[in-house]
Amino acid sequence: MVSSKALHMILFVQSLILLFALRRMRYTGELVLRHAQEMTVNHPGEKQPEIHLRNEVLTMRPIYVVTPTYTRPTQMADLTRLSNTLRLVPNVHWIVSEDRVHISKPVQQLLEHSGLSYTQLAAPRPASLVGKVIGRGVFNRRAAIAWIRENASEDGVIYFADDDNSYDTRIFEEIRQTVRVSVFPVGLVLRYGVSSPIIENGKVVGFFDAFQAGRKYAMDMAGFAVSVNHLLSKPNATFPARVSYLEEGFVKSLEVPVTELEPRAEMCTRVWVWHTRTEKAAKPSLENLKEADYLAYSNTNLEKLHKHLLEDSSADKPTTNMP
């Protein structure tokens, strides 16, 4: 048995050690701080690269990347890939606009986890267009435009980036230079394998695209960007609810003549964005577990795994997370 006197002694010695350790930590902290201050005062040019970098990024024009999206088994895979791309691009604000009544929890969690500056929107279709091809991606893109008109910085640029496409980060630096409407080639489009503006003597004279169908601006959604300023100068610019004519209708409503479109990506000689498509996949369900002899999986991870996969509770309000 340790006597109470000895116990007090031990406690006293321990307190002394703790006090000493705390003082030492404070002293070290002060030393580090003083050292850092000396470095920034004496060698400001050399010792502040990060601060300079941050200022440079902050003075870059913001890019508002609008991604229409809808709930389906491959959605998280597509959005994850796109979020990883966008994390490589400075000064991006990602507007993810869902084709549904309420924003969804999985998308919200993905956005939070991405660390990106973002806005999550949801836009319902009119009842008459629910489940119809004609409503695909129209009302959620319109909601994003409305958000931009209200909230975006005037020197920004808007780009419509579908969730399943593939992007070389260089395309974003091209987009950033948009004065009114910039245009560039998109790879893997229909039977020509590419959709591109046709350039003659440095000017756009037409469009090389397998789907002409009377389109004046025969472009893919991924092949153009518009400045916020220009969008604001066209209060009626919007997406029509007309299948296969979303790009045509929207770009037309921006009222920039074909020859005044701004060719980018080395005068439209480079492909830095591709119209890739994700193969459809089965939706995981508890039914499948049952079919595959569910009882054999009791006391395993599978039930929880499926619960996570099926989580799709809805939230009510649009959320935004800007610096």
Query: Is 50 an annotated catalytic residue?
Result: no
Provide the minimum distance between the beta carbon of 246 and Mn ion in the complex, in angstroms, as a whole number: 12
- CA angle, residues 303, 308, 314, in degrees to nearest 5: 135
Which partner in Mn ion, ligand UDP, none is near 284 (CB below 5 to 8 A by kind)? none
* Interaction of residue 69 with ligand UDP, rule CB under 6 A: yes
Do residues 219 and 251 lie in contact, with contact meaning Cβ atoms separated by under 8 Å?
yes
One-letter amino acid at 268 equals C
**Distance in angstroms (rounded) separating the CA atoms of residues 271 and 223:** 10
Look at residues 208, 159, 160, 205 and name the one whose alpha carbon lies nearest to residue 185. Answer: 208
- Give just the sign of the alpha carbon dihedral 38, 40, 43, 46: positive
Question: Which is the catalytic residue, given 247, 248, 262, 291?
Answer: 247
Look at residues 95, 91, 94 and name the one whose alpha carbon lies nearest to residue 61. Answer: 91
Which residue carries 């409305």 as its tokens? 146
* Interaction of residue 136 with ligand UDP, rule CB under 6 A: yes
The half-sphere exposure of 16 on its side-chain side, counting CA atoms within 13 A, is 6
**Distance in angstroms (rounded) separating the CA atoms of residues 135 and 129:** 6
Provide the minimum distance between the beta carbon of 155 and ligand UDP in the complex, in angstroms, as a whole number: 26
Which of these segments, 2-10, 132-140, 224-232, 276-284, binds Mn ion (CB under 5 A)? Answer: 276-284
Provide the minimum distance between the beta carbon of 173 and ligand UDP in the complex, in angstroms, as a whole number: 22
Provide the minimum distance between the beta carbon of 241 and ligand UDP in the complex, in angstroms, as a whole number: 12
How many other C-beta atoms can be found within 10 angstroms of the C-beta atom of residue 219?
Answer: 25
Restricting to residues 255-284, name those near ligand UDP by CB under 6 A.
277
Which partner in ligand UDP, Mn ion, none is near 114 (CB below 5 to 8 A by kind)? none
Nearer to Mn ion, 162 or 248 (CB): 162
- The DSSP string of 103-143 is -BHHHHHHHHHHT-EEEEEE-PPPGGGTT-GGGTTHHHHHH
Restricting to residues 147-176, name those near Mn ion by CB under 5 A.
162, 164
Nearer to ligand UDP, 184 or 274 (CB): 274
* Interaction of residue 211 with ligand UDP, rule CB under 6 A: no
Nearer to ligand UDP, 233 or 244 (CB): 244
Instruction: For residue 106, give the 3-state DSSP assignment.
Output: helix
Do residues 115 and 323 lie in contact, with contact meaning Cβ atoms separated by under 8 Å?
no
Nearer to ligand UDP, 67 or 114 (CB): 67
Provide the minimum distance between the beta carbon of 27 and ligand UDP in the complex, in angstroms, as a whole number: 56
* Interaction of residue 78 with Mn ion, rule CB under 5 A: no
Which helix (H) or strand (E) segment is 203 a member of? strand 203-208
Look at residues 181, 149, 185 and name the one whose alpha carbon lies nearest to residue 272. Answer: 185
* Interaction of residue 247 with ligand UDP, rule CB under 6 A: no
* Binding-site member from 94, 145, 158, 163 for ligand UDP (CB under 6 A): 163
Provide the binding-site residues for ligand UDP, judged by CB under 6 A: 67-70, 99, 136-137, 140, 162-164, 277
Catalytic amino acids? 247
Q: Tell me which residues touch Mn ion (CB under 5 A).
A: 162, 164, 277
